[in-house]
Structure 1
Amino acid sequence: MHPHLHTKDNPGCEEIMTALEDCHARGFMWKAIGMCSSLKEDVNKCLRAERLARTAENRERAKEKKAKIQAVWAEIDANS
């Protein structure tokens, strides 16, 4: 697993990622025959859910910022 995935960006997925790392540590054959596939899918689902949550939050902040900018421009237009 990439070290940055265990940081503040994905705290909810740390347990699943650790389980996947433990599975991978069992050796190449364990991975090759698909014994870690379900854990990998769980990690992907968790990371996707967290990414979607961040995207929604960023979208809301962008809407708020846009509304503030439009209000400032409306005030400038009204005073001109």
Structure 2
Amino acid sequence: MHPALADHLNPGCIDLAERLMSCHTEHKWAKFFGKCNALSEALNKCLGQEFEVRRKKQLVEARARQARVQAMWAEAKADDEEHRAFERERERQSSSSE
């Protein structure tokens, strides 16, 4: 059986889902002998395609987020190195002035 389909997550498959539900309603006993299998397989294929579309979109978004995080870490590391250089220079100046 298919999970409850959300209109906003599966807009391309709503028609197939409705047709499958009406087939199940109209053929209460014949559905057990394969009357609605073609619709069920079409719905499975449609849901699989929509899943792949969402997965690819999420992958692109995740890679963009990861790139932003890596850039922030690189910036923080550069700031850290700059701070260490500043501290070393300050220590060198204070030790040479004594």
Instruction: Classify 1:2/1:35 alpha carbon distance in 2 versus 1 (closer, same or farther; 3 Å).
Output: closer
- Per-residue CA distance 1:22-56 (angstroms, 9 max, x = gap): 11011332202211001000010111111111111
Q: Which runs of 5+ in 2 are unaligned?
A: 81-98
Aligned residue pairs total: 80
Q: How does 1:1-80 map to 2 (within 5 A)?
A: 4-80=4-80
Give, in angstroms, the shift of residue 77 of structure 1.
0.9
Any runs of at least 4 consecutive aligned residues in structure 1 with deviations exceeding 6 A, and if so which? Answer: none
TM-score (norm 2): 0.74
* Separation in structure 1 between the aligned mates of residue 8 and residue 23 of structure 2, nearest angstrom: 23
Q: Percent identity?
A: 38
1:4 Cα deviation after fit: 4.2
Q: For the residues of structure 1 that align with 2:40 and 2:19, how far apart are their CA atoms?
A: 9
Larger Rg, first or second structure (1 or 2):
2
* 1:63 partner SS: helix
Gap runs ≥5 in structure 1: none
1:78 Cα shift? 1.1
